[in-house]
Amino acid sequence: PETFLARIKRALPSGIRVERLDLLEAGDPSLASSIDGLAYSLDLKSEDFIRAWRQSSAAGESGAGNPSLAAIKTRLAAYAKKQSSDGLSGSFAFERGRMFLRLPPLPRKGCRPQDIISEAFGIPGPVFLLKRDEVVLKPGSRPIDRAG
One digit per residue, pLDDT tens: the chain, 148 residues?
Answer: 888 888 988 898 887 878 777 777 888 888 788 888 889 999 999 999 998 888 886 656 654 567 888 888 888 888 888 776 555 567 889 999 999 998 887 655 557 889 889 988 888 889 999 998 888 888 877 554 443 3
pLDDT for the residue 75: 86
CA distances from 78 to 51, 72, 83 (A): 22, 10, 9
| pTM beyond 0.75 | no
